[in-house]
């Protein structure tokens, strides 16, 4: 259940690519000069990892377009991640690092893209690292690289700039705002946006997500996870987890969601168009309903933020006191959902 780092760069990609796949021996020396001491650092790292390729050999392959066996580097699946690492190094030297995100898991892409689609935005965040770059390996088991060309940026920026608070969930909006900022900088400087997953992004530090849920199935009950990860060590004041059949798996002390209250959630979770003029009653308290989307309802009252999230295996109800940091809650909620999908 581990995640990956995603780094973003503003760069004129043509400056990076013009020396690759040319077959020009002089281009190898030029690229070695461009990377300078970083190439030596990579050589040391690759040697420690016992890779059967050196950075200088990989550069030669990238300039030739084929490896020493005559295989196109785009089909060299044993070394594709090394070519991607070198490509990112070249992008760093030619462009400007914009920052990035840490501990992003595959399910996150689906959730963000789904939220954008429901908001009427025809743009895929996952495409930023999955659409690839012509001529070089751009996907491996652990890494990937993608480019949004400058001439496509104005349309995408206009779409994202048109989003308003409430169009997508708040925790997702923070990431969308990052992408919007990256696009604006690229737009102002007439540069392409390149994103690398699984690399070593430079520049502003990635958004670090505090981890409370382990990367493997631990011993313990759902009640322990509620009491320890969500309440004692987390930002939530109350939490409950229910099976889809309405059976309660766990709940924090003093948080009693009745069968009737749970049953009333079924329709609005299935269809966000279901009206909730009187709000929602949870554990005897009434909360306004805000920003409904399929499988998710958020709301609040004078004291707390409410989040109700349906996964493929459970329904999670979370209350967060307004005095606590909302960002922590959104990130830990995402971790909990991934944890439930994996181990529920």
Query: Rounded CA gap, 24 and 21, in Å?
Result: 8
Domain positions in the chain: 4-197, 222-343
Per the model's pLDDT, the better-predicted residue between 7 and 331 turns out to be 7
Q: What is the pLDDT of residue 334?
A: 65
Radius of gyration of the chain (CA): 23
Global pTM value: 0.59
Strand, coil or helix: what is 185?
Answer: helix
Helix axes 170-189, 106-118, angle to 10 degrees: 80
Q: What is the rounded average pLDDT for all residues in the chain?
A: 83
Is the pLDDT at 312 greater than 60, yes or no?
A: yes
3-class DSSP state of 98: strand
Residue range 275-308, pLDDT digits in tens: 888 889 999 999 988 766 778 888 888 888 888 8
The arrangement of strands across the sheet holding 238-243 comes to: 248-251, 238-243, 314-321, 304-310, 296-300, 285-293, 280-282
Which homologous superfamily does the CATH classification assign to the domain defined by 222-343? Dynein light chain 2a, cytoplasmic (3.30.450.30)
How many Cβ atoms sit within 10 Å of the Cβ of residue 193? 27
Rounded to whole angstroms, how far apart are CA atoms 298 and 258? 19
Q: Label residue 63 exposed, middle or buried (CB < 10 Å: 0-12, 13-18, 19+).
A: buried
pLDDT band at 325 (very low <50, low <70, confident <90, very high): very low
């Amino acid at each position: 259940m581990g995640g990956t780092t995603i780094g973003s760069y503003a760069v004129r990609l043509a400056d990076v690519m013009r020396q690759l796949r040319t077959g020009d021996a002089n281009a190898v020396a030029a690229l070695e000069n461009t990377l300078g001491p970083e190439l030596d650092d990579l050589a040391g790292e690759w040697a420690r990892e016992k890779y059967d390729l050196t950075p200088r050999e990989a550069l030669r392959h990238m300039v030739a377009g084929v490896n020493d066996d005559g295989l196109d580097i785009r089909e060299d699946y044993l070394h594709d991640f090394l070519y991607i690492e070198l490509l990112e190094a070249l992008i760093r030297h030619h462009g400007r690092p914009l920052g990035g995100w840490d501990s992003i898991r595959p399910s996150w892409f689906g959730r963000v893209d789904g939220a954008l689609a429901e908001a009427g935005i025809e743009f895929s965040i996952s495409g930023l690292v999955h659409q690839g770059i012509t001529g070089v390996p751009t996907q491996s088991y652990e890494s990937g690289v993608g480019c949004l060309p400058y001439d496509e940026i104005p349309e995408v920026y206009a779409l994202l700039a048109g989003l308003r608070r409430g169009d997508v969930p708040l925790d997702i909006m923070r990431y969308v705002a990052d992408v919007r900022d990256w696009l604006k900088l690229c737009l102002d400087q007439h540069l392409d946006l390149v994103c690398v997953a699984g690399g070593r992004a430079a520049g502003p530090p990635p958004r670090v997500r505090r981890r409370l849920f382990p990367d493997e199935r631990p011993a313990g009950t759902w009640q322990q996870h509620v009491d320890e990860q969500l309440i004692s060590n987390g930002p939530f004041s109350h939490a409950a987890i229910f099976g889809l059949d309405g059976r309660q798996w766990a709940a924090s002390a003093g948080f009693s969601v009745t069968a009737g209250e749970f049953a009333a959630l079924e329709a609005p979770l299935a269809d966000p168009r279901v009206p909730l003029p009187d709000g929602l009653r949870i554990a005897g308290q009434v909360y306004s309903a805000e920003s409904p989307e399929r499988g998710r309802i958020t709301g609040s009252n004078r004291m707390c933020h409410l989040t109700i999230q349906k996964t493929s295996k459970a329904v999670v109800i979370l209350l967060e006191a307004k005095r606590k940091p909302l960002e922590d809650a959104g990130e830990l909620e995402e971790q909990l959902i991934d944890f439930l999908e994996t181990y529920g």
